[in-house]
Amino acid sequence: MAYPEPLERLIEAFERFPGVGRRTAERLAFHALREPKARELGPALERAVRDTRLCRSCCNVTRVETCEICADAERDALTLCVVEHPRDVEAIERARVFAGRYHVLMGALNPSDGTESTHLFVERLVERVRREGTREVILATDPDAEGEATARLVLEALHSAGLAPRVTRMARGLPAGSAIEYLHKGVLEDALEGRVELLLSRNDQRRG
Ligand SMILES: [Zn+2]
């Protein structure tokens, strides 16, 4: 081992972040050793892990058991907007275009980075739709290949569970390959208003 053991451990820890290879991990670790400001990472990380949790209802990151949005009785509890990441909730909330509630899957199907259906909170969504009698599920996963596959997955999971809420997909005006989190208010608003019903194709039904 070329580096002192504690440094090697730090490099390995950085390497576990998505998209960070050995070279970048080394650069980050040396930076953290030299730069007092960068050392705030340690306590910040510890505190974030200790003081945040997943909302028991929507799986978004929160400090309390039930997040503010799920606890807000003014919001439409029967319409769920399903997104990939907490940052998508932030983007849609910032645009003020949606008055229902959310469900965060915590990712999208992506064979290349090893994200499979079991890593996503799809089962929790299915249970929730059953429990709460959800009327509409709006699939607001990204308009890219992973997002489309994830939308299909959710649709099929609801169908296999014998649940039949209206399932729609945010569509119109969304540039293919873009990400929900970067879209502006007008585009999000159009995409929500122009959402289209998503139906199982015959092939999907045969598979299910
Ligand atoms: Zn919540």
Residue 163: phi, psi to the nearest 5? Answer: -100, 140
Between CA 99 and CA 94 the distance in angstroms is: 12
Distance from the alpha carbon of residue 66 to the mean position of ligand 1, in angstroms: 5
pLDDT score at 208:
43
Please identify every residue whose CB atom is under 5 Å from ligand 1, which is an ion: 55, 57-58, 67, 70
How would CATH label the architecture of 5-51? Orthogonal Bundle (1.10)
pLDDT score at 64:
95
Between CA 60 and CA 62 the distance in angstroms is: 6
pLDDT score at 111:
83
Distance from the alpha carbon of residue 54 to the mean position of ligand 1, in angstroms: 8
Residue extent(s) of CATH 3.40.1360.10 domains in the chain:
54-207
Residue the block writes with tokens 């606890």: 71
CATH of 54-207, one of 3.50.50.60, 3.40.1360.10, 1.20.1050.10, 3.40.50.280: 3.40.1360.10
pLDDT score at 17:
87
* 166-169 sheet: strands from edge to edge: 100-104, 76-83, 136-139, 166-169, 196-197
Among positive and negative, which fits the CA dihedral 6, 10, 13, 15? negative
Between CA 165 and CA 130 the distance in angstroms is: 9
Render each residue's pLDDT in the chain as its tens digit; 208 residues.
589 999 999 999 999 987 899 999 999 999 999 999 988 999 999 999 999 999 999 999 999 999 999 999 999 999 999 999 999 999 999 999 999 999 999 999 998 888 889 999 999 999 999 999 999 999 999 999 999 999 999 999 999 999 999 999 987 567 777 889 888 898 899 889 989 998 887 655 555 4
pLDDT score at 112:
83
Write out the E strands in the chain: 53-54, 61-62, 76-83, 100-104, 136-139, 166-169, 196-197
